[in-house]
Structure 1
Amino acid sequence: MPHAPRPPRLLIDPDALPADLRGGHVAVGNFDGVHRGHQAVIALAAANARAAGRPVIALTFEPHPRTFFQPETPLFRLTERDEKARMLGRAGADATVSLTFDGALSRIEAEDFVAGILARRLGAHTVVVGWDFHFGQGRRGSPAFLAEAGPKNGLFVEVAPPFGEGAPVSSSAIRDHLASGEVAPANRLLGRRWTVEAEVAHGDKRGRELGFPTANMILPPETRLAHGIYAVRALADGRVVDGVASFGRRPQFDDGAPRLETFLFDFSGDLYGRRLRIEFVDWLRAEAKFESVDALLAQIARDVEDAKRILAAPEDASAPSALI
């Protein structure tokens, strides 16, 4: 990502926007994943804003509009609200405004979104959107609509073109890669390693009994990450620690609800009740049931060695770590 990490500045109420964030360049989008295409939108917003001494604001929506319109079809979120704000800050946004997507917002006319939210409530100077972004009731607000309606409300408008060659980078493509265990391609589209964060919960302590103590985390039920074993890194006690993680149902033992179990190398701290961030570096193998516990232990030992080998390799410059 193009800018140094900065603490996320997250605002829920656009009407509470402080004076130093008004008159800015506002990038609008769902930004799930904050992938390379999203980063290009933020970069375009920042290009002229920095020279003019204006702030860069990312305007996004919670919950994701698709979750509002299709609650019966849970959406595999790549980034929850706080992680999204953190990644938008890394991409160059000075703050993220998270607008509540409810019935009223779903029915707002495109003209009212431009005049009431962008111009009045945010006091935007320039509005930046991606080439395929739509807004307002019936998705009538298109980039072409915004290019016409913006100047009528005193707004400059910029539209970011499709990012990259071939098929545009999309959150859907990244979700599909992760659902197939294709971590490396997903990370390259993200422009960083995919990261999850959750509280470390008490488990059945089976890993400790087997000699591989794990940090157990429950991810959102709509997480479609392929069940399997991964080479990972974690931010624990303020430092980055290598590890190997299993996501799945534990077919050797209980075949229960999916959870993420991470064995951290060279770490012995107490993480229970604390939030842990895990980034996925690469896929090792599919989840499997073995003929015996001894066979499972032998495979885990091989997984550890495979993960160490992968994590010792030079970092993929197209998908660097974003833990710190």
Structure 2
Amino acid sequence: MLTKARLYTDWRNIPPEAHGCAAALGNFDGVHLGHAHLVNAVYAARPDLPRAVVTFEPHPRELFRPQDPPFRLTLPDERLAALEALGVRHVFQIPFDPAFAELTAGQFVREVLHEALHLKHVGCGPDFAFGHRRGGNVAFLGEQALALGIGCTQVPALADATGPYSSSRVRMLLQDGYPERAAAELGRAWAIRGEVQHGDKRGRLLGFPTANIPLGRHLEPARGVYAVTVRLPGGQSAFGVANIGRRPTIDDGQESRLEVHLFDFEGDLYGQTLSVALHALLRGEQRFDGLDALKAQIARDAEQARHMLAATLS
């Protein structure tokens, strides 16, 4: 049975029962196979200690470059679930704000990892950098940790024939329209988790009612129509078809959104949190000559999605 991970968002007040862990350090955006390799390597180094992760929220890039388009693969809830699936018991999610960003590399090791989190072992990938203006590297971490009696493991990056696994590589696959290839690098289908909001009810008028979920801080993948599975709040799953884009046939094109139609489902989902996993891009975004043409195409999309999901996931 999977042990539920505990989340801590105040690094200054960690309860004693969470002390003494072996923790992997990083942003863990996406929690891809490279991240899983890191977590497992740290656990292998100290299997006698509770498995933990030290991560940051928001992603430092969101603080330092707020003008960038949204790029996140996983927001906190989805990231926590993915880490939990790896057997992580404690997730120390440090608020990355301007004050925290001013901590020197030495302060981070001493005040955060040692004095606040009471870690006994840490591990990171070869490119991990930390502290004010990224002043600390892996060698510095090892030296400082050793001086404080903390073990340290540098974990080589997991790679395949095309290079190291990375969040950037997964983002590129999604933006290029290859969710199935992104899934191979993540170890699971990529999902957008969000709260269902009221839309313009246009899908219902077309015969395909949809749950509308803002992309928010999520990366926007290739625009178009996807075969999806949807995890509902109660834990049950449903097949569906989803559109990601600006709806050029009927909308003003100002906001990209996720609209998902669940097959054989009846119920009120407004205000509920859904997790929508993308399995295949069926077609790119396109404009149709009127609502009748759009309705006919949606019917074809839904049928194609049903067959594809039944063949690959049933």
Contact 2:37 2:158 in 1 (8 A): yes
1:200 to 196, 201, 226: 196
AA at the equivalent of 1:207 = G
2:148 pairs with 1:117: no
2:175 pairs with 1:179: yes
Contact 2:192 2:218 in 1 (8 A): no
1:261 to 242, 255, 259: 259
Identity, % of aligned positions: 43
Contact 1:229 1:286 in 2 (8 A): yes
**Across the two proteins, how many residue pairs are aligned to each other?**
311
Q: Distance in 2 between matches of 1:72 and 1:192?
A: 30
2:18 pairs with 1:15: no
2:44 pairs with 1:44: no
Once the two structures are TM-superposed, the CA of residue 6 in structure 1 deviates from its matched residue by 4.2
Once the two structures are TM-superposed, the CA of residue 247 in structure 1 deviates from its matched residue by 0.8
Q: Deviations over 1:220-274 (max 9, x none)?
A: 1663212100000001243110000001111111133111111111111111111
Pair 5,296 (structure 1): closer, same or farther in 2 beyond 3 Å: farther
- Could you say which residue in structure 2 is the equivalent of 1:86? 81
Q: Distance in 2 between matches of 1:64 and 1:72?
A: 14
Once the two structures are TM-superposed, the CA of residue 149 in structure 1 deviates from its matched residue by 1.7
Once the two structures are TM-superposed, the CA of residue 14 in structure 1 deviates from its matched residue by 1.8
- Could you say which residue in structure 1 is the equivalent of 2:127? 132
Deviates more, 1:78-87 or 1:25-34: 78-87
Gaps of 5+ in 2: none
Once the two structures are TM-superposed, the CA of residue 138 in structure 1 deviates from its matched residue by 2.6
2:21 to 20, 24, 46: 24
Q: Deviations over 1:8-41 (max 9, x none)?
A: 4211112322222211101110111111111111
AA at the equivalent of 2:214 = I
AA at the equivalent of 2:199 = G
> Where in structure 2 are the equivalents of 1:1-324 lying within 5 Å?
5-50=2-47, 52=48, 54-166=49-161, 167-220=163-216, 223-236=219-232, 237-256=234-253, 257-315=255-313
Once the two structures are TM-superposed, the CA of residue 314 in structure 1 deviates from its matched residue by 3.3
Q: Deviations over 1:36-83 (max 9, x none)?
A: 111111111222443x1x211211111111111112224411111122
**Alignment RMSD:** 1.7
Q: Deviations over 1:79-113 (max 9, x none)?
A: 11122112111112102111111222222221221
Q: TM-score, normalised by structure 2?
A: 0.94
Once the two structures are TM-superposed, the CA of residue 306 in structure 1 deviates from its matched residue by 1.4
AA at the equivalent of 1:68 = L
Q: Distance in 1 between matches of 2:299 and 2:70?
A: 35
Q: TM-score, normalised by structure 1?
A: 0.91
